[in-house]
A and B are shown apart, each in its own frame.
Chain A
Amino acid sequence: MDLAQTYELWRGMMRDGVSLEWWQTFFVRFYQAFLEADRWQSYLEGVGITLLTTAIALAIGVALGVVVAMLRTAHDQQRPGRPRNPVLGAANALCKVYVTVIRGTPMMVQILIMGLVIFSSSRNFTAVGALTLGINSGAYVAEIIRGGLMSLDSGQMEAGRSLGLNYFDTMRFIVIPQAFKAILPSLGNEFIVLLKDTSMISIIGGQELTFFARNIVTRTYDAMMPLLGAAAIYLALVLIFTWLQGKLERRLRQSDRR
């Protein structure tokens, strides 16, 4: 008797009101959630889309974050006593509004607004979700990068400028490479947060892992197995990335111990 037959038999018994052993019930529920009708493929597809959404959101987030952080830092580092650049001033004000609004409102509300108000006519919910996550992440990444740039000893900037290098060369060759190493742990954390937050785009129909898990819940009338399964998959993904992050950090630290 193979698994499928066992499943059919025991499920029939459950329906008829026969009381089964706990492990028999567990098997039926597990089979129903993951194996029946090849449902495991749905989870797999969900994981793929979750990872893709994370990658897109991360790319948007880092791009936005770098631009915002550079603009704000450039504005803050203008030489005191000289007239301030009005273009930078306007850009800085805009960046401040962006960071304040994004950090001051819940992610869930942002996703609902993007999905149901701004892009209400779009059917590509996953893309709208990824875009929202990217915009959200950008605000946090911007603050991480800005913190990294500002944490660097001001003597580094002074040394570069005193040699006659201009502001952008000094940033490019001296400040940014050092700041990058400093912010890598925080960026890794942001990445992990982003990976888990993709689950929220299922609220507007984004088809990632949580979306498929909930679909199976409605199909089978059993919430426990699909949700625990989804949780286990998220945990596994996060553990993998935490491990990778640790490896990368150890490698970077090695270059300090010269």
Chain B
Amino acid sequence: MIDVEHLSKSFGKNLVLDDISEHIQEGEKVVIIGPSGSGKSTFLRCLNLLEEPSAGTITFDGAVITGPKVDIDAVRRQMGMVFQHFNLFPNMTIRKNITLAPVRTKLMSQAEADETATTLLRRVGLEEKAGAYPAQLSGGQKQRIAIVRALAMKPKLMLFDEPTSALDPEMVGEVLEVMKELAQEGMTMVVVTHEMGFAREVGTRVLFMDGGHILEQNEPHAFFAHPREARTREFLSKVL
């Protein structure tokens, strides 16, 4: 589904991603872990071009999306993104947060979008919050809404950038639960996270990043049971 070839990204003189090549299949749940500053968020943000790669190509569904003539908005419509800090729009109700993009991009009529919003909100148990504003919600609720907002665009792929890192510990579970359900439905997911339990339970593949490289990757059970690299073992010994 996504082919990344020789992807590099530098901010000024600071090389954050160093010649990364990776292939993500449809239906995979790829979990990216690693120390802070390892480039994992930058890698994720390159996938939907929130960061412009300095070198290399990214192919999505058979089409190169890093070229100069690409309709970037059309590409992003097919990739949902969930942010660490939710980034809900505080000036709109929850319903409007969810329906704005599908309606403006002519994916749905307002009536269809409202219906989609209601269905999705019911799924995450927040149906009664449709008329509320983001400021009235808890962090866990905001993040569940943010997931719903991304899903309303009917994306083929979901990107999660540390979705639980800004949450109170007691709210992490409710967000992970929604993500788990999404995984069970077969959504292709790329998740940057520090939740090792989630990586083990939901991931189909774990990537360990350090210093702008994918240092090691494996199927989760093997990855956590028998990490090959010394750096991976060191990292895991600190976080587990």
Q: Which residues of A contact B (CB under 8 A)?
A: 79-83, 153, 155-156, 158-166, 169, 173-174, 177-178, 181, 256, 258
Contact = CB atoms under 8 A, between A and B. Distances in A.
Interface string B30-60: 0000000000000000001010111000000
Identify which of B54, B90, B133 gathers the most chain A CB atoms within 10 Å of its CB.
Answer: B90
Contacts, number: 76
Interface in B73-94: 73-74, 76-81, 83, 85, 87-92
A156 B87 contact: yes
17 contacts: A79-B52, A81-B52, A81-B54, A153-B85, A159-B87, A159-B89, A162-B76, A162-B80, A162-B81, A163-B81, A163-B150, A165-B73, A174-B91, A178-B90, A181-B91, A258-B133, A258-B136
Nearest to B150: A163
A81 B56 CA distance: 13
Contact of B104 (A156, A159, A173): A173
Nearest to A83: B68
B105 interface: yes
Contacts of A163: 76-77, 80-81, 100-101, 105, 149-150, 153
A174 B89 contact: yes
Contacts of A159: 81, 83, 87-89
Contacts of A256: 135
Nearest to B136: A258
A165 B91 contact: no
Interface string B81-117: 1010101111110000000110011000000000000
Given A159-B83, A164-B74, A169 B52 contact: no
A158 B52 CA distance: 13
The 3 closest A-B pairs by CB, nearest first: A164-B77, A159-B87, A163-B101
B14 to A, nearest CB: 14
Given A164-B77, A164-B105, A258-B135, A173 B50 contact: no
Interface in B144-185: 149-150, 153
A174 B76 CA distance: 17
Contacts of B135: 256, 258
A79 B52 CA distance: 7
Contacts of A153: 85, 87
Contact of B83 (A80, A158, A177): A158
Given A81-B54, A166-B73, 14 more contacts: A81-B52, A82-B52, A82-B68, A155-B83, A158-B50, A159-B83, A160-B101, A162-B48, A163-B105, A164-B77, A165-B101, A173-B100, A177-B91, A181-B91
Nearest to A257: B135
Given A79-B52, A155-B83, A161 B76 contact: yes
Contacts of B136: 258
Contacts of A165: 73, 100-101, 104-105
Contact of B87 (A82, A155, A181): A155
Contacts of A258: 132-133, 135-136
Nearest to A163: B101
A30 B54 CA distance: 76
Contact of B73 (A80, A164, A173, A174): A164
Contact of B91 (A79, A81, A82, A178): A178
Interface in B205-232: none
Contacts of B87: 153, 155-156, 158-159
Contacts of B53: 81
A79 B68 CA distance: 12
Nearest to B81: A162
A39 B162 CA distance: 72
Contacts of B81: 159, 162-163
A250 B54 CA distance: 47
Contact of B89 (A80, A81, A156, A169): A156
B90 to A, nearest CB: 7
A38 B105 CA distance: 64
Contacts of B105: 163-165
A170 to B, nearest CB: 9
Contacts of B101: 160, 163-165
A169 B90 CA distance: 16
Contacts of B52: 79-82
Contacts of A173: 89, 92, 100, 104
Contacts of B90: 178
Contacts of B88: 159
A80 B132 CA distance: 37
A195 B85 CA distance: 42
